[in-house]
Chain A
């Protein structure tokens, strides 16, 4: 979904159009759930966080003002905040335990997934977060900067470095 289409749907949703809300939900949820799953590594927890994220988002939807902020970035920021609140309450960090399995039909997908998982395991949590927001959530660098509350150039540099580290790790593995 393009930013303009998303903006139109948000505007309609704010005026009470349920269909627009549904379309937004369908568009964002797969990325959101994938991001949450990869972050908390627990299916039930990810579903809870997904639910709390959307409930907060829909409650605050009337107050949402775009002004350079995409709706999807805003939802991901809520999700990220929900994760941190959960960890604060449970005094728990992101776990490396994998409690879900992803069925892959394509062997190359399996190989790539294993490779990427191995590489991500060797990166820092900040690098992992950047990669999740960039590639799972499919956010632009500008949106990623807003979610992480960082300067655009800082995010660009950090992402570049994270990919450089991943590239070197990948080269070692291959």
Chain B
């Protein structure tokens, strides 16, 4: 025996309809209900709209402000595309986008020939960080700077802002930047790096070095010449003195009884003595003058030597400077609105309008709890 196929819903529907009935007091109750009905006309009830126009309008405004903002930012970026410095793309304000790098040196002179292709690039690094907790992040920034062999030259830390000026080895810059970026989400971080070729300064220093070396060499040569001349002069004087002494000895040793010869010898001896005195005076004079000249030259040579050392030190300073990055990091506190504005793409106003549209729509479509009379 096979059972008739059944449909539960049909069975229940039929059953449900069979349960519907009127009571024995149906008409009495109806009359009572009608008698209790309020007869006074009531205000027109509000009809629920089928299409939620208000949230649609608000959403439309949200989309409009979003596209207007996108167009405005696009125009600004196009106008400022010729700027040479590098920035991280974030939702920055116009003031922040116009921040210029900080040059420590005079603006480079580009009038040096291309035949010298050397680069002595001095790097500058500037970063701006937005955060909700300035003191806490300040500590981490300081630790990071020192951790990368940097030197903190100046710092100012407050509740709403902080500033750090530092230097660190150029070889550590990339890893330092990566570490600093990891401290905060990308939307809160902007940086600018700039490079300047110090080749003009290097060339000036090299030129000065050459001149200093040449000057020193010239002075040394001059000194050598002076000494040589002096020695020659002294030798000449000594030679003359020797000749005089020799002649004097010979004359003193000559024995003669001839009174004329004796008078001649005496006169000659006197003449020789006078000459000897004169030569000795000249020699003393020469020595004095030479000593003065030599001292003067030595002083000049010493000064020139110091200048050479000084220029060498400048050269080393330049090389050290190129090997060092000068940097600044600025921290500023963001309030909640700015924080949300940075996270959200597009203008905050669009998002607020969108949220309002969603809220109004939910309110419109909200099915309230049945208000049951007590």
**Residue A109 CB within 8 A of the other chain:** yes
Docked Cα-Cα span, A136 to B14, in Å, equals 9
Docked Cα-Cα span, A25 to B37, in Å, equals 12
Contact code string B22-62 (vs A, CB < 8 Å = 1, else 0): 11111001101110111111100110100000000000000
Query: Within 8 Å CB of A29, what residues of B?
Result: 22-23, 26, 29-30
Q: Are B29 and A18 in contact (CB under 8 A)?
A: no
B25 CB contact (under 8 Å) in A34, A51, A112, A115: A51
Known: A55-B36, A69-B367, A170-B6. A30 touches B20 (CB 8 A): yes
Query: Within 8 Å CB of A135, what residues of B?
Result: 12-13, 15-16, 19
**Residue A167 CB within 8 A of the other chain:** yes
Known: A51-B25, A102-B18. A81 touches B372 (CB 8 A): yes
Interface residues of A in 26-44 (CB under 8 A from B): 26, 29-31, 33-35, 37-38, 43
**Residue A155 CB within 8 A of the other chain:** no
Q: Are B48 and A66 in contact (CB under 8 A)?
A: yes
Q: Are B33 and A170 in contact (CB under 8 A)?
A: no
A16 CB contact (under 8 Å) in B8, B42, B365: B42
Q: Which residue of A lies closest to B10 (CB)?
A: A112
Interface residues of B in 360-374 (CB under 8 A from A): 365-373
**Residue B11 CB within 8 A of the other chain:** yes
Known: A47-B24, A74-B370. A15 touches B32 (CB 8 A): no
B38 CB contact (under 8 Å) in A16, A22, A69, A174: A16
A77 CB contact (under 8 Å) in B12, B36, B370: B370
Residues of B within 8 A of A (CB): 3, 6, 8-9, 11-16, 18-26, 29-30, 32-34, 36-42, 45-46, 48, 365-373
Residues of A within 8 A of B (CB): 11, 13-16, 18, 21-22, 25-26, 29-31, 33-35, 37-38, 43, 46-47, 50-51, 54-63, 65-69, 73-74, 77-78, 81, 102, 104, 109, 112-113, 115-116, 131, 134-136, 138, 146-147, 149, 163, 166-167, 170, 174
Given A30-B20, A67-B368, A102-B19, output 5 extra A-B contacts at Cβ < 8 Å: A26-B30, A66-B45, A112-B18, A116-B11, A136-B16
